[in-house]
DNA sequence: TATTGTTATACTCTATAACTATA
DNA sequence: TATAGTTATAGAGTATAACAATA
C-alpha cells in the first residue's frame, strides 16, 4: 500500500482522540481522591464521544459552541463570542474566519456601531448546527448511559455548582 | 506605572487561566443541557483552582501527575508514564527531560531491560511532590466547598462511571 | 520483528502586543 | 481615551515518522 490514505470520513485531524485508560499495575495515589482528576478523566471521555459524534465535519468543541451561540444569538459580536468561549479576541476572529470561509456564518455591518460586526449563521450554517445538535445530543445521552435519569440530573446539578 | 511587571511568584506562564464566566444576555441554548458542556465548565474551574494551588512552581496538570506517578511507582518506564497520561512517548520524554533538568527526577539504567529507563524522584522531587500534593488537595477541597461530604462522594462516583 | 527511547518536524490552539477605525 | 476588529508573532502541547539499540 502506498502512502495515500483513503480516509473514509476524516476531514478533521482530530485534535485529541487521546484515550486515557487506566494502566494496570500503576498506583494512582492521591489522584484517585481528587475531584479535579475525576473531572479530567470524565471530560476526556466526553471529548471522545464528541469527536465520534462530529467525525468528518472538522468540528471542535469551540466551533460547535460558536455555531450554537450564533444560532441562538443572531447578531452577536466577535468580542461577545470570545467572552463566551473564554478566549482572546484574536482567537474568536480566527474561529469566525473559519466559519465564514466555509460559508457557515457571515459578518454583517452594524447600524449602531461601525466598529463591530454582527455575526449570523447562513442557511447552510443553521442546517449544520441543527444536524450537529442532534448528533451531539445523542452522543451526550450515550455518555450518561450508565446513569439513570435522576442520576444524570443530579450530576448536571453538582457540576454546575462546582463550576460556580 | 511602567510596563515592567514585578510578578510576585510567576515562574510559569500559566497555560490556561481562562475564566469562562457566564456572559449575561447570551442564550446558551442546548449547551445548558449537555453533560459534556457542564463537564467542560467544571473542569475549567478545576484548572483554575489547580493553577492557583501551584502558582510559582511552573507546574502543569501533566507535570503534577508525573510527579505523583513517579512517587508512587518508582522505576516506572517512560512508555508507562506516556500511557498513564494518554500522550505519545515523545511527549513523555520531553516531560521527563523537564523533570530531570530541574533535578526533580532521574533516569536509572535497568538491569532487566537495556532499552528502558527506570524513572525515580530525587529527594528534591519527592519533597516537591509532597508539597504539591498538600496544596492541590487543599484547593481540590475548596473546589467542592459548595458540596457536602456526601455530595462530594456522590459526584466522584458519578464521574467515575461517566469516565468508564 | 517488536519495543524503548530518541530526534526531527509539523500542526493546533491560544496568547500578547501593536495597529486602525470607530466611539 | 476606550473599544472592536485585525495582524503579526510566539509559545505550549502534542502528534507522526524515522532511527538506533536492545529484546
pLDDT digits (tens, 9 = 90+) for B96-112: 999 999 999 999 999 99
Same domain for B121 and B73: yes
Q: Are B105 and B70 in contact (CB under 8 A)?
A: yes
CB atoms under 10 Å from CB of A137, counted, come to 15
pTM: 0.89
B78 touches strand C (CB under 7 A): yes
User: Is A99 among the domain residues?
Assistant: yes
CATH of the domain at A118: 1.10.10.10
Q: What is the pLDDT of residue B7?
A: 26
Which residue is it, cell 474551574? B45
* Cα distances (Å, whole numbers) of residue B60 to A109, A115, B12, B98, B115: 42, 38, 9, 12, 28
Closest to A163 in 3D by CA, of B88, B72, B73, B28 = B28
Q: Taking all residues of chain B, what is their mean pLDDT, rounded to a whole number?
A: 88
SS3 content of chain A, % helix, strand, coil (to 5): 55, 5, 35
Residue B140 placed within a domain? yes
Q: Does residue A96 approach strand D to less than 7 Å at its CB?
A: yes
Residues spanned by the domain of B149: 29-58+134-162
In a domain, A20, yes or no: no
A15 assigned to some structural domain: no
| B41 with A155: Cβ contact below 8 A | no
Phi then psi dihedrals of residue B121, to 5 deg:
-75, 145
DSSP single-letter state for residue A21: P
What integer is the mean pLDDT of A94-123? 97
- pLDDT tens string B124-144: 999 999 999 999 999 999 998
Q: Within a 13 Å sphere around the CA of A94, how many CA atoms are in the beta-carbon half? A: 6
Strands (E), B39-128: 105-109, 117-121
CB contact under 8 A, B46 and A68: no
Q: Specify whether B53 is located in the same domain as B69.
A: no
Please tell me the predicted confidence (pLDDT) of residue A139. Answer: 93
State in Å, rounded, how far the first CA of chain A is from the last one.
53
Report the domain count for chain A. 1
- Is B144 inside a domain boundary? yes
Let me know if residue B154 belongs to a domain: yes
B97-106 burial: b if 16+ Cβ within 10 Å, else e: ebbbeeebbb
Instruction: Assess whether B144 and B116 both reside in one domain.
Output: no
Q: What average pLDDT is seen over chain A?
A: 88
Residues B67 and B105 in one domain: yes
Q: Are residues B66 and B122 in the same domain?
A: yes
Tell me if A33 is assigned to some domain: yes
In angstroms, the separation between the Cα of residue B70 and the nearest Cα of chain A is 9
- Whether A117 is in a domain gets the answer yes
Looking at the complex, report in whole angstroms how far the Cα of residue B64 sits from the nearest Cα belonging to chain A.
10
Question: Is the confidence at residue B6, as pLDDT, over 60?
Answer: no
Tens digits of per-residue pLDDT, B31-73?
Answer: 999 999 999 999 999 999 999 999 999 999 999 999 999 999 9
Amino acid at each position: 500500500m502506498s502512502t495515500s490514505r483513503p480516509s473514509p470520513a476524516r476531514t478533521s485531524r482530530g485534535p485529541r482522540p487521546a484515550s486515557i485508560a487506566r494502566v494496570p499495575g500503576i498506583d494512582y495515589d492521591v489522584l484517585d481522591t481528587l475531584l479535579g482528576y475525576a473531572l479530567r478523566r470524565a471530560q476526556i471521555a466526553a471529548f471522545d464521544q464528541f469527536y465520534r459524534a462530529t467525525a468528518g465535519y472538522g468540528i471542535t468543541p469551540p466551533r460547535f459552541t460558536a455555531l450554537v451561540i450564533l444560532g441562538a444569538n443572531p447578531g452577536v459580536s466577535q468580542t461577545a463570542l470570545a467572552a463566551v468561549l473564554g478566549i482572546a479576541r484574536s482567537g474568536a476572529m480566527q474561529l469566525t474566519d473559519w466559519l465564514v470561509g466555509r460559508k457557515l456564518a457571515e459578518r454583517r455591518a452594524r447600524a449602531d456601531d461601525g466598529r463591530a460586526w454582527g455575526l449570523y449563521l447562513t442557511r447552510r450554517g443553521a442546517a449544520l448546527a441543527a444536524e450537529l445538535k442532534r448528533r451531539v445530543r445523542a452522543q451526550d445521552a450515550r455518555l450518561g448511559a450508565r446513569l439513570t435519569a435522576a442520576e444524570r440530573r443530579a450530576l448536571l446539578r453538582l457540576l454546575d455548582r462546582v463550576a460556580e
